[in-house]
Amino acid sequence: MTGPDEMRTYPVERLEEFSARVFRHFGVPEADARQAADVLAASDLRGIDSHGVARLHTYFDMLTLGRINPRPEIRIVRELPGTATVDGDNGLGLVVGPWANRVAMEKAEAVGSAWVGVCNTTHFGIAGYYPLQALGRGLIGWAMTNAGPLVAPLWSADRMLGTNPIAIAFPGGEEPPIVIDMATSAVAFGKVEIAMRQGRPIPEGWAVDADGRPTTEPRGLIEGGALLPLGGDREHGGHKGYCLAAMVDILSAVLSGADWGPFAPPFALRRDLPARGVGRGIGHSFGAMRIDGFLDPDEFKSRIDEWIRAFRAARPASGTSGLLIPGDPERQAEAVRRTSGIPLVPAVVEDLRDIARQTGIPFD
């Protein structure tokens, strides 16, 4: 018998195959379905449980309601040798994102560096997926995206910005790569939901209530409040987190012609749609750089190795096991999960079974 809180574990290949079949069910072309499933699987492998198959039901809902175009004609609408704007034709962000990221990489390969903005797109999975693709081509890659509003800028009471992540990665030589992938909010919305379910208060600096007052009560956030930007209050640098979220919003959405700030459509059925549109869809931004445009790539990689070793050799703070290199936790999760499989909580298993029932695609 399986208890209500017991995890079940699935081989990643099986989850990926299921995701791909679900996308194909809606007429998503074979290669696109595999691409989309690959992005979700990368998230599950790397331990970012919130962005893997746990989101499949939302993609399923959006496709069912016709809110995502399964067969988009993605195209470049404006470009220079080192720039482009891509219109994603309201396709899956899991397909549009990789397409636009390839444009950024190809342009960087041609002229040394490039930025690509994307409009008319939807949730693109983990931001970290994209710089990992760039690593595979020997490039430094960036990814950013805006998202439905959840964060109140410092001194505001309104949800004006998403959790707007920034990702970038750097290759090591003998050491594994440094992979940065971080939301610009103080904390993920999901952490507040967990605290609410457990009846626990949340730390100061995570959230404000509907009047913009600091709150330690999860309900204060859920019922019309907002997350705080990284830094939290003024004293701890909340204005800086707001600046970062604004930067991501402007590069991803204002510059590409997408819906920015509070007008970004949420990736969730239960959240209200924005009052009006100011563009098309959400927006992403991808950057890429050729390392040999700056330094001999072998020299760069050995400098990164040296950086990693110097940081690992730093004295641990009293009572801790010492610092981590960005990307360590995800790489460790991947090492375990590739062999042991992906643990899913019962609610996610139930979501996947629900999709199976509605589509006839076997699961479990």
- Kindly identify the residues of this chain, within the stretch 220-259, that bind its own copies according to CB under 8 A: 230-232, 235-237, 239-244, 246-247, 249-250, 254-257
Binding flag, residue 112, its own copies (CB under 8 A): yes
Binding flag, residue 341, its own copies (CB under 8 A): no
Binding flag, residue 289, its own copies (CB under 8 A): yes
CA distance 309 to 300: 14
Q: Which is nearer to its own copies, 85 or 133 (CB)?
A: 85
Binding flag, residue 168, its own copies (CB under 8 A): yes
Binding flag, residue 262, its own copies (CB under 8 A): yes
Q: Which is nearer to its own copies, 158 or 334 (CB)?
A: 158
CA distance 175 to 166: 23
Place of tokens 């990643």: 12
Q: How far is the CB of 134 from its own copies (least distance, A)?
A: 14
Binding flag, residue 197, its own copies (CB under 8 A): no
Which positions ≥6 away from 296 have C-beta within 8 Å?
Answer: none
Which one of 19-27, 63-71, 293-301, 341-349 is the stretch in contact with its own copies (CB under 8 A)? 293-301
Q: Which is nearer to its own copies, 93 or 261 (CB)?
A: 261
Which one of 29-37, 48-56, 160-168, 356-364 is the stretch in contact with its own copies (CB under 8 A)? 160-168
Dump the DSSP string for 10-46. E-HHHHHHHHHHHHHHTT--HHHHHHHHHHHHHHHHT
**Is residue 45 exposed (0-12), middle (13-18) or buried (19+ Cβ within 10 Å)?**
buried
Residues 58-87 that bind its own copies (CB under 8 A): 78-85
Beta bridge partners of 149: none
Which one of 5-13, 193-201, 323-331, 334-342 is the stretch in contact with its own copies (CB under 8 A)? 323-331
Pull the structure tokens for residue 9. 């574990």
Q: How many CA atoms lie within 13 A of 303 on its CB side?
A: 8
CA distance 172 to 200: 41
Q: How far is the CB of 314 from its own copies (least distance, A)?
A: 4
